[in-house]
């Protein structure tokens, strides 16, 4: 058995099951689950119709690189979305079966464990980053995102000796769970560090199309690279997905794009990994990347929920609307996120995710402790119902403690 498996920590939802074991929620309240970031809006017909018309593709083995039409559609979308001057669909794009498996597999491609490799990632973070690093034989250095820093990573606090051993940096912008977007100056610093120390950057951008201001889409990593004169995107690979953008999490479709050298190595790895995208899924994906109307409607639905819930939650939780994404990252009264989640579930049958489950303790501090993540994925009426129950729960708890 691979001994590195023993280094893996339980996934947040395994810890949730243990936290809530034996708890019986009030049967007078219908359950509302805001703990899992699984989109619930309907998958648009432009995707489902394209998939239904392409079932004949199931009779063929797929190519690792994907079809030229899909790669061209992805490159075209990248040029339009990020105003890129040029993007080569043959060498700089690779379709993948969702960003999750690609984020994991990329570490296995670029890390050489013999060199005492380090992977740097935000804290809190998406746990795939940690698992990918550990199973590639690297150690993990966590960079705290704290309210004192505006929920941004203090990259300058990472010691030089850590950067010197770093082979891979995971970043997430817009962030999960914080919803923060990295500005150009932050990218300038990271690119300079990558040039100095020779590490690759994996930019997780699966929330890039869920934003609250139609006139201010989040800055992307490839867009930042071009703005800083890095037209070859050296050392950078961006990861994107249709799961959130197009409400198609079950389709498992995304792409990686960027540095042609890294894309080529990743393509070689995936040839042996056996994870090529089905031609049927490719046809549906092509239709999705070529259509923006359903994405704009998706954003409208999330904006409607943020507009409705913010006044209810901001009065009882320390939170604010994120720059992007579909989460509220909220500080809870009393500071015990796990107790808050357990009691909210018991008394009001609402599930939230403890922030401490999304982070690691470093030097005696867990930056997710005292926070909860609320995923606004349910329909508006159910989200409003949950927000009302959260408000009632906090107010009742405050009265009881007065």
pLDDT above 90 covers a percentage of the chain that reads 95
Question: Measured between alpha carbons, how far is 20 from 148 in angstroms, rounded to an integer?
Answer: 31
Encode pLDDT of 349-371 as tens digits.
999 999 999 999 999 999 999 99
Structure confidence at residue 400 (pLDDT)? 80
Whole-number pLDDT of residue 402: 52
Name the band, by pLDDT with cuts 50, 70 and 90, for residue 147. Answer: confident
**What is the longest distance spanned by two Cα atoms in the chain?**
68
What pLDDT is attached to residue 148?
87
Domains in the chain (CATH in brackets) are: 3-42+294-401 (3.90.1150.10), 45-291 (3.40.640.10)
Number of C-alpha atoms within 13 angstroms, CB side, residue 310?
12
3-class state of residue 328 by DSSP: strand
Task: Give the model confidence (pLDDT) of 184-218 as tens digits.
Answer: 999 999 999 999 999 999 999 999 999 999 999 99
Map tokens 């890294």 to a residue: 262
For β-strands 139-146 and 118-123, DSSP reports them as: parallel
Q: Please tell me the number of Cα atoms within 13 Å of 209 on its side-chain side.
A: 24
Cα–Cα distances in Å, from 139 out to 1, 117, 314, 322? Answer: 20, 6, 38, 31
Residue 287 clears pLDDT 80, i.e. is over it: yes
- Selection from 275, 273, 276 nearest residue 109 by Cα: 273
pLDDT at residue 114 in the model: 85
Rounded to whole angstroms, the Cα distance separating 343 from 375 reads 18
Q: How far apart are CA 326 and CA 244, in angstroms?
A: 9
* Distance, CA of 319 to CA of 293 (rounded, Å): 30
167 near 118, Cβ under 8 Å?
yes
Cα separation, 132 vs 155, in Å, equals: 21
Assigned token pair, 370: 């005292």
């Amino acid at each position: 058995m691979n001994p590195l498996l023993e280094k893996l920590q339980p996934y947040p939802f395994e810890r949730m099951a243990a936290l809530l074991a034996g708890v019986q929620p009030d049967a007078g309240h219908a359950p509302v689950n805001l703990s899992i970031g699984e989109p619930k809006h309907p998958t648009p017909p432009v995707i489902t119709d394209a998939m239904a018309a392409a079932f004949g593709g199931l009779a063929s083995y797929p190519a690792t690189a994907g079809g030229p039409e899909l790669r061209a559609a992805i490159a075209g979308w990248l040029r339009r979305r990020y105003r890129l001057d040029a993007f080569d669909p043959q060498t700089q794009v690779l379709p993948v079966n969702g960003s999750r498996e690609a984020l994991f597999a990329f570490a296995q491609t670029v890390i050489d464990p013999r060199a005492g490799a380090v992977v740097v990632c935000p804290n809190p973070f998406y746990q795939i980053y940690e698992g990918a690093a550990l199973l590639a034989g690297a150690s993990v250095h966590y960079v705290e995102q704290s309210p004192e820093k505006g929920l941004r990573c203090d990259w300058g606090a990472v010691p030089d000796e850590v950067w010197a051993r770093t082979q891979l940096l995971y970043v997430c912008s817009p962030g999960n769970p914080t919803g923060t977007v990295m500005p150009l100056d932050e990218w300038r610093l990271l690119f300079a560090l990558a040039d100095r120390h020779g590490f690759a950057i994996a930019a997780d951008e699966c929330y890039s199309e869920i934003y609250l201001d139609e006139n201010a889409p989040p800055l992307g990593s490839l867009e930042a690279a071009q703005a800083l004169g890095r037209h070859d995107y050296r050392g950078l690979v961006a990861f994107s997905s249709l799961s959130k953008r197009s409400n198609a999490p079950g389709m498992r479709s995304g792409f990686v794009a960027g540095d042609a050298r890294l894309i080529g190595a990743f393509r070689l790895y995936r040839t042996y990994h056996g994870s090529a995208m089905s031609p049927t899924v490719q046809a549906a994906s092509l239709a999705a990347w070529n259509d923006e109307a359903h994405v704009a409607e998706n954003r409208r639905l999330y904006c409607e929920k943020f507009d409705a819930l913010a006044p209810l939650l901001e009065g009882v939780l320390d939170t604010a609307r994120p720059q992007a994404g579909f989460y509220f990252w909220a500080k809870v009264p009393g500071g015990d996120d796990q107790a808050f989640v357990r009691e909210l579930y018991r008394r009001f049958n609402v599930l939230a995710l403890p922030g401490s489950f999304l982070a690691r303790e470093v030097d005696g501090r867990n930056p997710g402790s005292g926070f909860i993540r609320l995923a606004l994925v349910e329909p508006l009426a159910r989200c409003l119902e949950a927000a009302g129950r959260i408000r009632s729960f906090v107010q009742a708890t405050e009265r009881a403690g007065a």
